[in-house]
């Protein structure tokens, strides 16, 4: 089967008229049932609900662009891997043709096992643990960087930050959540950092902590005692809030907080809860492409549906969840079937151009392992209460600020 270009798509941004080459075609006689699994309750609820917005926006936008009908079948993983596995089984029993999800690497790994065993395509929206696409699966596909790639991109951007601000921090303390994702990121940092000779710093200490912790007094005290120039952080949302409050309580003001690639720091709740304390945190992570035609289209739909909210707070979550459903819908259109094998074969032949995806990166093409290569990261910094693209320069909305204005050298 020859790879088919995603050439019916977007010619310009903002209006359906400008998207004419997508070809407004007649809807197929059947619909694609997409089972979306996300942590809409539990410790990761806020992030799961953020991803859900990408799923909620997808049917109408994709219907107008591709002429295919999508039915979203939602399931709450409750931030639990066992529940994720059970809900995946239930969605398949209820007729889901393809699964999408599930944000957390541990939950996603559980769903991937079910999908492979049942022979149902699974398009991963967000999950970075490398082993997920190292199992030889035939029905599992991921348009999201592995922890290794995410870390490499994030660390490289640190060098860009230091060069852009003419700074050269010599030391860092590394703190990370002790879950599947955090452990994968730790392995990535440990493997990649020594190979990047252009980075001027060394890690003085590494501190792992429970992502569900409500008290990080001991961990922050230990990190502060390292007397490092800056904090390198891999976090989730709730723990990031706890940690930042504890830093303020202990009056620890390093040059900055810089994440090599994780959620938390750019989330809306992080800014709402912490206020000024949230300012200047930097997360080098995957993001939506602010110049993409698809981003502008989805952004318009987002503003219409959520007029009191900003899509900026949902960049990764909405972008990658929407793109996962777009991948499934594009495959459905080309396969002209909901047969699982036909869908999987069509997904494998995906070729969506860079400017016709929402997330930042090159064309969406899957390698033999079911992994998309070439996804990019951006330096996202909280500036004036909004997560803002500061690097790469060609996508920047503002200049990066480092060190933080409240930095106190000891």
Spatial contact of 147 and 188, defined as CB atoms under 8 Å apart: yes
Q: Indicate if the pLDDT at residue 4 is higher than 80.
A: no
CA distance 125 to 267: 17
User: How high is the pLDDT of residue 407?
Assistant: 86
What is the CB-side half-sphere exposure of residue 40 using CA atoms within 13 A?
13
* Tens-digit pLDDT profile for residues 222-276: 999 999 999 999 999 999 999 999 999 999 999 999 999 888 999 889 999 999 9
Give the predicted TM-score (pTM) of the model: 0.83
User: How high is the pLDDT of residue 230?
Assistant: 98
Spatial contact of 113 and 85, defined as CB atoms under 8 Å apart: yes
Cα–Cα distance list, 186 to 26, 80, 191, 212 (Å): 48, 22, 9, 18
User: How high is the pLDDT of residue 15?
Assistant: 38
- What are the phi and psi torsion angles at 193 (to 5°)? -55, -45
User: How high is the pLDDT of residue 28?
Assistant: 44
Percentage of the chain exceeding pLDDT 90 = 80
Spatial contact of 375 and 368, defined as CB atoms under 8 Å apart: no
Q: CA 270 from chain center: how many Å?
A: 16
Average confidence score pLDDT of the chain: 91
Element (DSSP H or E) covering residue 234: strand 230-234
Topology (CATH level 3) of domain 17-146+289-375: Rossmann fold (3.40.50)
Spatial contact of 183 and 240, defined as CB atoms under 8 Å apart: no
* Least confident piece of the model among 34-38, 42-46, 249-253, 343-347: 42-46
CA distance 72 to 276: 38
CA distance 409 to 370: 47
* Tens-digit pLDDT profile for residues 363-400: 999 999 999 999 999 999 999 999 999 999 988 999 99
* Tens-digit pLDDT profile for residues 93-135: 999 999 999 999 999 999 999 999 999 999 999 998 899 999 9
CATH 3.40.50.2300 domain locations along the chain: 17-146+289-375, 148-286+379-395
User: How high is the pLDDT of residue 11?
Assistant: 40
- What are the phi and psi torsion angles at 357 (to 5°)? -115, 165
CATH of 148-286+379-395, one of 3.40.50.2300, 3.20.20.70, 1.10.10.60, 1.10.540.10: 3.40.50.2300
User: How high is the pLDDT of residue 84?
Assistant: 97
Cα–Cα distance list, 155 to 76, 188, 281, 397 (Å): 33, 10, 15, 21
């Amino acid at each position: 089967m020859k790879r088919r270009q995603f050439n019916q798509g977007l010619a310009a941004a903002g209006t359906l008229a400008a998207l004419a080459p997508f070809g407004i075609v007649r809807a197929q006689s059947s619909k694609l049932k997409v089972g979306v699994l996300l942590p809409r309750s539990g410790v990761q609820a806020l992030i799961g609900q953020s991803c859900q917005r990408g799923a909620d926006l997808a049917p109408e936008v994709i219907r107008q662009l591709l002429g295919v009908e999508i039915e979203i079948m939602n399931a709450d993983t409750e931030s639990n891997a066992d529940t994720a596995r059970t809900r995946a089984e239930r969605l398949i029993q209820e007729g889901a043709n393809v699964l999408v999800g599930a944000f957390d690497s541990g939950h996603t790994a559980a769903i991937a096992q079910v999908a492979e065993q049942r022979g149902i395509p699974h398009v991963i929206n967000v999950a970075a643990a490398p082993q997920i696409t190292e199992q030889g699966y035939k029905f599992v596909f991921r348009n999201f960087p592995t922890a290794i790639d995410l870390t490499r991109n994030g660390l490289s951007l640190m060098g860009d930050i230091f060069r852009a601000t003419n700074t050269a921090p010599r030391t860092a303390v590394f703190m990370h959540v002790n879950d599947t994702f955090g452990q994968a990121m730790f392995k990535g940092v440990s493997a990649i950092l020594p190979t990047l000779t252009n980075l001027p710093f060394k890690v003085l200490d590494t501190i792992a902590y429970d992502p569900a912790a409500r008290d990080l007094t001991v961990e922050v005290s230990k990190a502060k005692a390292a007397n490092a120039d800056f904090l390198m952080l891999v976090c989730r949302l709730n723990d990031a809030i706890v940690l930042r409050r504890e830093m303020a309580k202990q009056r620890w003001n390093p040059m900055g907080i810089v994440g090599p690639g994780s959620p938390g720091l750019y989330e809306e709740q992080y800014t709402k809860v912490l206020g000024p304390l949230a300012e200047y945190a930097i997360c080098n992570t995957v993001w939506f492409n602010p110049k993409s035609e698809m981003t502008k289209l989805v952004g318009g739909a987002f503003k219409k549906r959520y007029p009191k909210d900003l899509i900026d707070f949902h960049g990764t979550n909405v972008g990658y969840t929407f793109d996962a459903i777009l991948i499934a819908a594009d495959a459905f259109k080309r396969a002209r079937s909901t047969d699982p094998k036909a869908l999987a074969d069509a997904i494998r032949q995906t070729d969506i151009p860079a400017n016709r995806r929402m997330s930042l990166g090159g064309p969406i093409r899957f390698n033999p392992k079911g992994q998309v290569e070439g996804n990019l990261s951006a330096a996202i910094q909280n500036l004036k209460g909004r997560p803002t693209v500061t690097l790469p320069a060609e996508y920047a909305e503002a200049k990066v600020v480092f060190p933080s204005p409240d930095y106190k050298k000891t």
